[in-house]
């Protein structure tokens, strides 16, 4: 009896690669290999190992072929391999035309199953990853900087690309260890779409069964430190304007029953890069404070470069976040007050019946656009698997069809709040901003054109809004301290 | 109806003959007012993409102090009409689940929306209305100018923006390509005061002769024609041709440097004067091939600078299709400032090599293959199909240009490339701009 139980236990523990196969007519063949591991699995002091491992697989040589040889093979096919590493997912994607499927796949397979681990690839890709932190993030994109600092201070997690000091020390042995431990069958989902021959998907799955069986890598997320009061971090660096990101952790992910209701609320309040959102209308359209203002329920990096989120950034812990694009320094105090004022109104008043109906009609159709490419369709399916929900657009459509405006407003009250915020500002004259925020002095707005009476009235209210911050709540941190 | 069917069948009813790179059949139709309609039925269900391509861009900004205006005007187009004030416009778009936006470049402004096909008629009506009856207040205009200033601010930490601004100002003396689409900061600051000019800009350039509607998706071309005639037919023609200054020939190499106040990797940009796209499509196609051979990921130079020596982390560039003569560009980002001279020499001698030597036939075939497959892999949804065509449409107003360009690629020989390299890779047509971190003197 005992041996039987043991046997059963062993059987259930056998790892299995998940396979998603979407054969179709398109000559474009998409590959997606998603491993459920990521920067949360980076060992302490080796932050950046997951991302650098992914980079070496996707942008380095295989044992038989150096990277220059791989480029040589892929070039006439215009084929590519890309990588994306987040906290809980490590993704390798590939695309080729069906004409070249065999030659492409055999190379891709060797890259992932039999990597070259060459020192010259490590040097090049480590340099790239260091540049992404030291130059691109700290110096040349204040908006992404603000967002990543917000995640860093709220969740206590490193950037998915790691830290400068750890990256500088990472060795090939560190990456090989990460590869062996985490890039396993237990963690892998393979997804394919396109006009590939019958039996191809099973062949890919069989080939990847050469990976170690492994065990699921999911680790406990670091415990959240409760936010007992609002905190402001002013990142000091040389720049023209002031960029803000602010928010707080939420208990909702796509797995949560309130997700569709909050998604609807957020689609009304601050949809990404859309002029329809309330926040955008109040801050940019009416007042011209900046280029745009949006809000988020999920991690959405690189938002300034794209209109739709990338799939396979699934996380068990998300934050609710406002992104206020750079404002002129003299209006920075007012802009923050206005953003908080709008957040207040969202939390207190919620949506009206007509806001709700209009947004629901929009969302029911717009959600289909997310899956306009097969690559995205594969990615969304894998994310749905992660969260344990159905196919994404169908799930959202059917869930919002059942909602009422009261459901949405209840979800807002339950999960969103107007106090105990983490606020990140990126500014050059950090001291002046700190002083202004602590003073709570009025920050009246003047415009280059007359405003309607209700806006003038609202501005009076907003410009004297008290933040009530104490000196210990507003700190200035030089930019070089982050991601170091 | 008959001609329509014939055309679709002739083009292979969505499956073009293999010799044509653009695999979709299409319906091309000119309205009497000069508006052109291009409808491309695709097999991607339910979704429709509308790209309204206006052949007007920062090239049209001929008056001093007006740099950046075409882009600013793109913003103004979202400020409503009597019938559809902004909120009503948004509501119609929302009802169709639409994702909408717009962009402006040197030679074009594009307004695009991707939506559920049930919204087609209401969106054609809505868009036709704003192109004919745009009406915004001075107050809304002045507010919008601030959003453009915000756009400048958000870009201002990125050194590549400054690099290209400097390169243009150095390489061009008279032509409007001297300035970027974003415009000079002083002109952006003055935009709120240009209300009257904005009306003039609309009146002169936003006319049907300058506009092509590109619709791709789950569509019936006959039905589309009927709708477009109904809503866009009444639009009055009357476009004014801009008097764009002709750039005098460059006679000597030019150089400039941008000191950058915050830490950055050093940048270099090299431009060679080359002809306008439509004026010499054959040379343009040859320059595309040379760009891939010289700078592509499998080129010896790329491998040397990025993989072997690892002096660079960026090397890219090429010929960009323009309405007037522009530049063949090379962008390079380096890891160390001290490598700038050697990398500059390596780039220039690589391009000069095309003047002396015939390219290897096999490598040329690899590049031709890359270009064909790159294009095919990009057509993975209706929006991408419309977006891919927009640039060509702005310059020539027909998708056949795309087929022509790929036919040219196929026909070009190593001797052709050598002849083209000899014509354009000359020191007197060259401009070099560098950018490095340089702390300001206190």
pLDDT digits (tens, 9 = 90+) for A204-263: 999 999 999 999 998 888 888 889 999 999 999 999 999 999 999 999 999 999 999 999
Distance (Å, whole) CA A54 – CA A129: 11
Contacts B149 to A, Cβ<8 Å: 328
Pair B322, B226 in one domain: no
Q: Cβ of A361 and B98 within 8 Å? A: no
What integer pLDDT is reported at residue B44 of this predicted model? 87
* For residue B442, pLDDT beyond 70: no
Contacts A276 to B, Cβ<8 Å: 90, 93-94
**C-alpha distances in angstroms, A204 versus A10, A82, B130?**
25, 18, 52
Please tell me which of the candidates B100, B371, B380 has its beta carbon nearest to residue A374. Answer: B380
The share of chain B scoring above pLDDT 90, in percent, equals 91
Contacts A362 to B, Cβ<8 Å: 94-95, 97
**C-alpha distances in angstroms, A112 versus A53, A129, A204, A310?**
10, 20, 12, 22
Q: Cβ of A124 and B265 within 8 Å? A: no
Range with lowest mean pLDDT among A145-149, A368-372, B26-30, B77-81: A368-372
What integer pLDDT is reported at residue A14 of this predicted model? 58
Probe site for chain B from A135, A272, A328 (most B CB atoms < 10 A): A135
Pair B195, B325 in one domain: no
Q: How far is B275 from chain A (nearest CA, A)?
A: 27
* For residue A7, pLDDT beyond 50: no
Q: Cβ of A372 and B114 within 8 Å? A: yes
Residue among B218, B182, B213 at smallest CA distance from B61 = B182
Contacts A284 to B, Cβ<8 Å: 147, 150
Distance (Å, whole) CA A271 – CA A412: 16
- Judge whether B133 lies within some domain: yes
Please tell me which of the candidates A140, A374, A450 has its beta carbon nearest to residue B159. Answer: A140
Those residues with Cβ within 8 angstroms of residue A394's Cβ, 6 or more apart along the chain or in another chain:
none
Please tell me which of the candidates B142, B156, B264 has its beta carbon nearest to residue A449. Answer: B142
Pair B92, B172 in one domain: yes
User: Is the Cβ of B411 closer than 8 Å to some Cβ of chain A?
Assistant: no
- Judge whether B239 lies within some domain: no
Pair B282, B172 in one domain: no
- Judge whether B249 lies within some domain: no
Cβ-contact A127, A164 below 8 angstroms? no
**Residue range(s) defining the domain that contains residue B404:** 254-437
Pair B114, B16 in one domain: yes
The mean pLDDT value for A153-176 works out to 97
Binning chain B into helix, strand and coil, the percentages to the nearest 5 are: 50, 20, 35
Pair B216, B272 in one domain: no
pLDDT confidence tier of residue B19, bands split at 50, 70 and 90: low
- Judge whether B197 lies within some domain: yes
Q: Cβ of B44 and A372 within 8 Å? A: yes
The mean pLDDT value for B153-165 works out to 91
What integer pLDDT is reported at residue A15 of this predicted model? 67
Pair B217, B281 in one domain: no
pLDDT confidence tier of residue A48, bands split at 50, 70 and 90: very high
Question: What is the distance between the terminal CA atoms of chain B, rounded to a whole angstrom?
Answer: 74
User: Is the Cβ of B223 closer than 8 Å to some Cβ of chain A?
Assistant: no
What integer pLDDT is reported at residue B17 of this predicted model? 39
Those residues with Cβ within 8 angstroms of residue B65's Cβ, 6 or more apart along the chain or in another chain:
B186, B187, B190
Contacts A367 to B, Cβ<8 Å: 97
Q: Cβ of B145 and A448 within 8 Å? A: yes
- Here the ipTM equals 0.92
Domain tally for chain B? 2
* For residue B327, pLDDT beyond 80: yes
Contacts A363 to B, Cβ<8 Å: 97
Distance (Å, whole) CA A218 – CA A182: 10
Contacts B262 to A, Cβ<8 Å: 139, 237-239
The mean pLDDT value for B424-442 works out to 89
- Looking up tokens 């959202």, which residue turns up? A396
- The β-bridge relationship of strands A188-194 and B430-437 is unpaired
Give pLDDT tens digits for A173-203: 999 999 999 999 999 999 999 999 999 999 9
Strand-pair partners of B439: none
Range with lowest mean pLDDT among A96-110, A219-233, A286-300: A219-233
A15-208 under CATH 3.30.465.10, yes or no: no
The mean pLDDT value for B106-117 works out to 97
CATH of the domain at B274: 3.30.830.10
Closest chain B CA to residue A73: B298
Pair B224, B263 in one domain: no
Interface of B with A in 152-191 (CB under 8 A): 153-154, 156-159
The mean pLDDT value for A466-476 works out to 97
Distance (Å, whole) CA A72 – CA A148: 36
- Judge whether B103 lies within some domain: yes
Pair B227, B262 in one domain: no
Give pLDDT tens digits for B234-249: 999 999 999 999 999 9
Contacts A307 to B, Cβ<8 Å: 99, 101
Pair B323, B369 in one domain: yes
Those residues with Cβ within 8 angstroms of residue B45's Cβ, 6 or more apart along the chain or in another chain:
B218
The mean pLDDT value for A441-467 works out to 96
Please tell me which of the candidates B370, B376, B384 has its beta carbon nearest to residue A75. Answer: B370
Probe site for chain A from B24, B111, B305, B377 (most A CB atoms < 10 A): B377
- Judge whether B375 lies within some domain: yes
Closest chain B CA to residue A26: B380
Q: How far is B31 from chain A (nearest CA, A)?
A: 31
Range with lowest mean pLDDT among B32-41, B152-161, B292-301: B152-161
* For residue A149, pLDDT beyond 70: yes
Triad A446, A448, A453: Cα angle to 5°: 65
- Judge whether B176 lies within some domain: yes
Pair B287, B406 in one domain: yes
Give pLDDT tens digits for B269-280: 999 999 999 999
Distance (Å, whole) CA B238 – CA B234: 13
Listed in order, the ranges of chain A carrying CATH 3.30.830.10 are 15-208, 231-481
Contacts A358 to B, Cβ<8 Å: 91, 94-95
- Judge whether B242 lies within some domain: no
Closest chain B CA to residue A28: B377
Strand-pair partners of A242: A327
Pair B209, B323 in one domain: no
Cβ-contact B273, B413 below 8 angstroms? no
Chain A to chain B Cβ contacts (< 8 Å): 195
Residue A311 tokens read as: 């799939």
Residue A453 tokens read as: 């009476």
User: Is the Cβ of B361 closer than 8 Å to some Cβ of chain A?
Assistant: no
Residue among A26, A83, A56 at smallest CA distance from B381 = A26
Contacts B303 to A, Cβ<8 Å: 68, 71
Cβ-contact A204, A192 below 8 angstroms? yes
Contacts A28 to B, Cβ<8 Å: 376-377, 380
* For residue B3, pLDDT beyond 70: no
* For residue B351, pLDDT beyond 80: yes
Contacts A285 to B, Cβ<8 Å: 86, 143
The mean pLDDT value for B57-68 works out to 95
pLDDT confidence tier of residue B20, bands split at 50, 70 and 90: confident
User: Is the Cβ of B91 closer than 8 Å to some Cβ of chain A?
Assistant: yes
What integer pLDDT is reported at residue A12 of this predicted model? 46
Give pLDDT tens digits for B122-149: 999 999 999 999 999 999 999 999 999 9
- Looking up tokens 């090379």, which residue turns up? B330
Closest chain A CA to residue B95: A362
Could you give the 3-state DSSP secondary structure of residue B331?
A: strand
* For residue B18, pLDDT beyond 70: no
Interface of B with A in 2-31 (CB under 8 A): none
* For residue A3, pLDDT beyond 80: no
Q: Where are the alpha helices (DSSP H) in B45-85?
A: 69-76
* For residue B210, pLDDT beyond 80: yes
What integer pLDDT is reported at residue B186 of this predicted model? 93
The share of chain A scoring above pLDDT 90, in percent, equals 94
Q: How far is A363 from chain B (nearest CA, A)?
A: 6
Quote the CATH superfamily of domain A231-481: Metalloenzyme, LuxS/M16 peptidase-like (3.30.830.10)
Q: How far is B374 from chain A (nearest CA, A)?
A: 5
Contacts A139 to B, Cβ<8 Å: 157, 262-264
DSSP B249: P
Interface of B with A in 40-69 (CB under 8 A): 43-44, 46-47
Residue B296 tokens read as: 């592509």
Distance (Å, whole) CA B211 – CA B400: 17
Distance (Å, whole) CA B306 – CA A67: 11
Cβ-contact A28, A374 below 8 angstroms? yes
User: Is the Cβ of B89 closer than 8 Å to some Cβ of chain A?
Assistant: no
User: Is the Cβ of B296 closer than 8 Å to some Cβ of chain A?
Assistant: yes
* For residue B408, pLDDT beyond 50: yes
Contacts A239 to B, Cβ<8 Å: 156-157, 262
């Amino acid at each position: 009896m005992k041996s039987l139980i043991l046997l059963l236990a062993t059987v259930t523990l056998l790892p299995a690669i998940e396979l998603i196969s979407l054969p179709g007519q398109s000559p474009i063949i998409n590959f997606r290999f998603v491993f459920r591991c990521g920067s949360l699995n980076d060992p302490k002091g080796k932050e950046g190992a997951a991302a650098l491992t992914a980079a070496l697989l996707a942008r380095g040589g295989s044992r038989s072929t150096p990277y220059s040889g791989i480029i040589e093979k892929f070039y006439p096919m215009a084929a590519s391999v890309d990588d994306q590493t987040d906290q809980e997912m490590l993704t390798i994607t590939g695309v080729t035309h069906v004409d070249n499927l065999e030659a492409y796949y055999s190379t891709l397979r060797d890259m992932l199953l039999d990597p070259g681990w060459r020192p010259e690839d490590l040097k090049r890709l480590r340099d790239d990853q260091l540049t992404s932190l030291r130059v691109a993030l700290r110096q040349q994109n204040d908006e992404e900087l603000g967002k990543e600092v917000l995640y860093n201070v709220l969740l206590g997690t490193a950037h998915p690309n790691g830290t400068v000091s750890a990256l500088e020390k990472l060795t090939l042995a560190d990456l090989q260890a990460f590869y062996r431990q985490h890039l396993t069958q237990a963690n892998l989902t393979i997804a394919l779409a396109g006009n590939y021959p019958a039996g191809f998907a099973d062949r890919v799955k069989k080939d990847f069964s050469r990976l170690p069986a492994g065990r699921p890598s999911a680790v406990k997320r670091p415990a959240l430190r409760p936010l007992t009061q609002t905190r402001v971090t002013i990142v000091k660096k040389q720049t023209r304007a002031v960029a803000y990101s602010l928010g707080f952790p939420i208990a909702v992910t796509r797995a949560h029953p309130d997700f569709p209701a909050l998604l609807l609320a957020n689609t009304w309040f601050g949809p990404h890069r859309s002029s329809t959102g309330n926040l955008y209308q109040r801050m940019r359209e009416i007042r011209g404070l900046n280029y745009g203002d949006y809000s988020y329920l999920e991690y959405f990096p690189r938002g300034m470069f794209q209109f739709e989120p990338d799939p396979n950034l699934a996380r068990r812990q998300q934050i609710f976040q406002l992104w206020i694009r750079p404002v002129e320094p003299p209006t920075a105090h007012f802009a923050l007050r206005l953003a908080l004022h709008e957040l207040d109104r969202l939390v207190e008043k919620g949506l009206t019946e007509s806001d709700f109906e209009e947004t629901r009609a929009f969302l029911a159709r717009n959600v289909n656009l997310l899956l306009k490419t097969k690559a995205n369709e594969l990615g969304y399916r894998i994310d749905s698997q992660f969260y344990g929900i159905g196919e994404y657009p169908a799930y959202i459509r059917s869930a919002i069809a059942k909602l009422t405006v009261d459901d949405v407003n209840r979800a807002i009250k339950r999960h969103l709040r107007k106090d105990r915020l983490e606020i990140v500002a990126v500014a050059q004259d950090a001291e002046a901003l700190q002083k202004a925020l602590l003073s709570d002095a009025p920050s009246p707005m003047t415009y280059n054109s007359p405003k309607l009476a209700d806006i003038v009235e609202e501005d009076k209210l907003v410009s004297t809004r008290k933040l009530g911050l104490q000196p210990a709540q507003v700190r200035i941190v030089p930019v070089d301290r982050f991601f170091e | 109806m008959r001609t329509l069917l014939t055309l679709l069948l002739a083009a292979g009813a969505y499956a073009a003959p293999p010799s044509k790179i653009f695999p979709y059949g299409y319906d091309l139709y000119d309205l009497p007012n000069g508006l052109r309609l291009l409808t491309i039925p695709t097999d991607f269900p339910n979704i429709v993409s509308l790209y309204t391509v206006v052949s007007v861009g920062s090239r049209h900004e001929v008056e001093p102090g007006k740099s950046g205006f075409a882009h600013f005007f793109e913003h103004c187009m979202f400020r409503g009409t009597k019938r559809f004030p902004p909120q009503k416009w948004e509501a119609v778009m929302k009802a169709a689940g639409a994702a909408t936006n717009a962009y402006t470049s040197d030679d074009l402004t594009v307004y695009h929306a991707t939506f559920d096909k049930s919204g087609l008629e209401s969106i054609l009506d809505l868009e036709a209305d704003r192109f004919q009856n745009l009406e915004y207040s001075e107050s809304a205009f002045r507010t919008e100018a601030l959003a453009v200033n915000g756009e400048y601010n958000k870009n201002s930490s990125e050194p590549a923006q400054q690099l290209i601004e400097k390169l243009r100002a150095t390489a061009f003396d008279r032509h409007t390509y001297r300035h970027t689409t974003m415009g000079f900061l002083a002109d952006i600051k003055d935009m709120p005061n240009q209300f009257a000019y904005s009306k003039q800009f609309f009146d002169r350039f936003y006319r049907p002769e300058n506009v092509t509607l590109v619709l791709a998706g789950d569509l019936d071309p006959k039905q589309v024609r009927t709708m477009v005639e109904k809503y866009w037919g009444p639009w009055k023609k009357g476009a004014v041709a801009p008097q764009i200054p002709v750039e005098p020939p460059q006679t000597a190499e030019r150089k400039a440097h941008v000191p950058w106040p915050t830490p950055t990797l050093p940048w270099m940009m090299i431009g060679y004067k080359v002809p306008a796209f439509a004026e010499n499509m054959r040379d343009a196609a040859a320059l595309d091939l040379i760009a891939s051979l010289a700078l592509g990921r499998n080129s010896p130079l790329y491998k040397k600078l990025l993989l072997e020596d690892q002096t660079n982390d960026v090397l890219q560039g090429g010929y960009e299709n323009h309405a007037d003569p522009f530049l063949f560009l090379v962008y390079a980002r380096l890891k160390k400032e001290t490598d700038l001279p050697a990398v500059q020499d390596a780039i220039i001698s690589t391009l000069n090599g095309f003047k002396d030597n015939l390219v290897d036939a096999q490598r040329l075939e690899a590049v031709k293959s890359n270009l064909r497959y790159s294009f095919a892999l990009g057509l993975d949804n209706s929006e991408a199909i419309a977006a891919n065509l927009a640039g060509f449409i702005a310059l020539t107003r027909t998708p056949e240009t795309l087929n022509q360009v790929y036919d040219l690629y196929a026909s070009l020989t190593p001797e052709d490339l050598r002849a083209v390299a000899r014509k354009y890779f000359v020191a007197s047509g060259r401009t070099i701009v560098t950018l490095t971190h340089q702390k300001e003197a206190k």
